Chain A
Amino acid sequence: MIAANLLKVALKAMNNNKMRCFLTMLGVIIGVGAVIAMLAIGQGSKNSIKAQISEMGSNMIMIFPGSENRGGVRQSASDMQTLKPADYEALSREAQGILYMTPTVNGSGQWIYGNNNYPSQAQGVNTQYLDIRQRTVSEGEMFTEEDVRNAAKVCVLGKTLVENLFPDGTDPIGKVVRFGKIPMTVIGVLDEKGYNTMGQDQDDLALVPYTTVMKRVLASDYLQGIQASAVDENRTQETISEITDILRDQHRLREDQDSDFTIRSMQELAEMISSTSSMMTVLLAAVAGISLLVGGIGIMNIMIVSVTERTREIGLRMSIGATGRDIMMQFLIEAVILSVTGGILGILIGALATWMISIFANWPVAISTTSVVLSFAVCTIIGIVFGFYPAAKASRLDPIEAIRYE
């Protein structure tokens, strides 16, 4: 009952000072807006990484040449030439935990057909690539094991390449296109996948036997990597140590020598990326949180001024029977209204900013209910905490002294 009266009193006092109230709230509005937008960006990128990983298959294992990059020491070109086709063969002979496996060697250059050309890559892989990446050939056929053995000049094109090289809709199957100077026969077209969650075009690729890329494009004896999928995604770690043993054996490394290759599993990668992105989120939220704190201090500042200004009013209220508690409640209510209204406006503005970021910058965003509830709770607490000192100060005034205050 009294609380309702005090609410009215507080609202009236604020109504008398609209501009000042708004400016005071601005700190909280900006703080909360920033918190909401930052957390939305963080959450959005986390979600998209998760989606990407499940798209790629969480049982994937990638092997790269070169030892693990420690402390940012630059690795020379020769360090990066440690994986050979023989390693791949050894793995396919001996590794029990591997289901599918393909070497990878990429050459970049122009794809040309007639007057049309398109800059892209020739991804050198074997036939198992399709199984690892869960792709299919929608027209024509995939190249065969035999094509790989012979380093045949054949290719399977993605939809984007087909559209750019054959803009008039000609059937590409059987046509001879060139990759740089090397003529290749199109024997198949990959299924269309569109853009992935990171905004990459998954149809902008051409598959070529890896032997062809090694011999005819790059003239190199080395692989750029090996991709494999584990038989059991829960035993990825064991498969990794199996691969490590085989490759160290293959490279004749002594016990005390570091491995000259790096193995990453998709799971590991996922954890790494998501831990970096959580760290970023925490950092962003901390910055935003500081601005929220500044907003709270702004509230405290204005409340102190307001208590001083209204000393006579407080004295009068007390002299006609308001208790210290009534006065305290009045100013606390005022502070909480300021911070909570600021919080609500901040949430709206944060949501608006998030929406604009997703529209104009095309970033993945996701406003979580937790961040909204949390900001709301934090605002209420900020109002109480920062309003407490001025309110307590007001409640301790002596009525007769306060009423004489000039």
Chain B
Amino acid sequence: MKEIIKIVDLKRYFKVGEETVKALRGVSFTIHEGEFVTIMGTSGSGKSTLLNTLGCLDTPTSGEYLLDGISVQKMGKNERAKIRNRKIGFIFQNYNLLPKTTAMENVELPLIYNPTVSAKERAERAERCLRDVGLGERLYHKSNQMSGGQQQRVAIARALVNNPVIILADEATGNLDTRTSFSILTLFQRLHREGKTIIFVTHNPDLALYSSRNIMLRDGRITSDEYNHNIQSAEEALRALPKDMDE
């Protein structure tokens, strides 16, 4: 499998007034196409910062980031925008949906900036993705009329709609009940089987059982990086859940 993500000694410092916050203090790893990586770590350990950098949203203070062999730092703004639009599906920790806007419109958003997708195809794809995350009944509900978990699922659908090569999820199941989070996890495992590369930030240590690799962060450094050769099936776990648990 080819290397799709390669970071070398990545550092990201933030200046806050007089002080410098060192969010990432030199992180290196390589992710191959088709891996399902979970990233764990305490709050403030730099997970979101790392994910933003991988998603071409943030630029590191120093270090090298090669995406598909191409240096991201050397790309122009527009090139990075195009990569975000076509290659990457990003799920934000706090959803970031457009207010006063329906689920459909939120999910269609990335395709608006892709001239190769017609209005008809856009609507079809958005609807399919919303059904995949279990929101088939909520297509035309506005974002502020939905629960936190539903908003999170809209955000997931939005990340899938452009059929990305890499999916970056920041706490994608953080707000969901066990049953829904397992069904989302099932969806991610299916995407993984279809060959997508997934990087999944989570606080839930149990989820490491369902990914192919787990990276632990602490204070902006990697403390462990382990492969999981015995991936469990989220679908089975879902079926094993007691039926009446959430109802």
Contact = CB atoms under 8 A, between A and B. Distances in A.
Interface of A: 1-2, 5-6, 9, 16, 312-313, 316-326, 399-400, 403
A400 B55 CA distance: 11
B113 A326 contact: yes
B78 interface: yes
Contact of A320 (B52, B78, B100, B110): B110
A320 B82 CA distance: 9
Contacts of A317: 109, 113
B114 interface: yes
B81 A318 contact: yes
B58 A400 contact: yes
A321 B114 contact: yes
B84 A1 contact: no
B96 interface: yes
Contacts of B183: none
Contacts of B96: 312, 316, 319, 403
Given A400-B52, A400-B57, A400-B58, A320 B98 contact: no
6 contacts: A5-B113, A317-B113, A318-B81, A319-B96, A400-B52, A403-B92
A2 B115 CA distance: 6
B200 interface: no
A178 B156 CA distance: 103
Contacts of A316: 96, 98, 109
Given A9-B112, A399-B57, A322 B81 contact: yes
B86 A321 contact: yes
A6 B112 CA distance: 8
A319 B57 CA distance: 6
Q: From DSSP, what is the main secondary structure of chain A's interface residues?
A: helix
A316 B58 CA distance: 13
A1 B111 CA distance: 11
A328 to B, nearest CB: 12
B77 A320 contact: no
Contacts of B58: 400
B113 A321 contact: yes
Given A5-B112, A324-B81, A403-B92, 12 more contacts: A2-B112, A6-B112, A16-B100, A313-B98, A318-B81, A320-B113, A321-B110, A321-B114, A322-B81, A322-B85, A323-B81, A399-B57
Nearest to B83: A321
A321 B77 contact: no
Nearest to B81: A323
A398 to B, nearest CB: 9
Contacts of B92: 319, 403
B115 A323 contact: no
Given A312-B96, A399-B57, A400-B58, A323 B77 contact: yes
Nearest to A396: B77
Contacts of B110: 320-321
B140 to A, nearest CB: 14
B108 to A, nearest CB: 9
Q: Which of A5, A9, A312: most chain B CB closer than 10 A?
A: A5
Nearest to B106: A316
B114 to A, nearest CB: 7
Contacts of B85: 320-322
B90 to A, nearest CB: 7
A319 B109 contact: no
A1 B115 contact: yes
Contacts of A399: 57
Contacts of A6: 112
B158 interface: yes
Contacts of A313: 98
A318 B52 CA distance: 13
Nearest to A313: B98
B78 A324 contact: yes
A30 to B, nearest CB: 31
Nearest to B114: A321
Contacts of B82: 321, 323
Interface string B43-66: 000000000100101100000000
Q: Which of B81, B84, B86: most chain A CB closer than 10 A?
A: B81
A403 B85 CA distance: 16
B123 to A, nearest CB: 13
A64 B115 CA distance: 77
Contacts of A324: 77-78, 81
Contacts of A403: 92, 96
A326 B55 CA distance: 20
Contacts of B98: 313, 316
B81 A321 contact: yes
Nearest to B101: A12
A361 to B, nearest CB: 48
Contact of B84 (A9, A16, A312, A319): A319
A137 to B, nearest CB: 79
Nearest to B97: A316
A316 B94 CA distance: 12
A57 to B, nearest CB: 68
A312 B52 CA distance: 16
A16 B102 CA distance: 13
B200 to A, nearest CB: 18
Interface string B142-176: 00000000000000001000100000000000000
Contacts of A5: 112-113
Q: Which of A6, A313, A319, A326: most chain B CB closer than 10 A?
A: A319
Contact of B78 (A312, A323, A400): A323
A326 B115 CA distance: 12
B205 to A, nearest CB: 28
B176 to A, nearest CB: 21
Nearest to A9: B112
A2 B112 CA distance: 7
Contacts of A319: 55, 57, 84, 90, 92, 96
A77 to B, nearest CB: 80
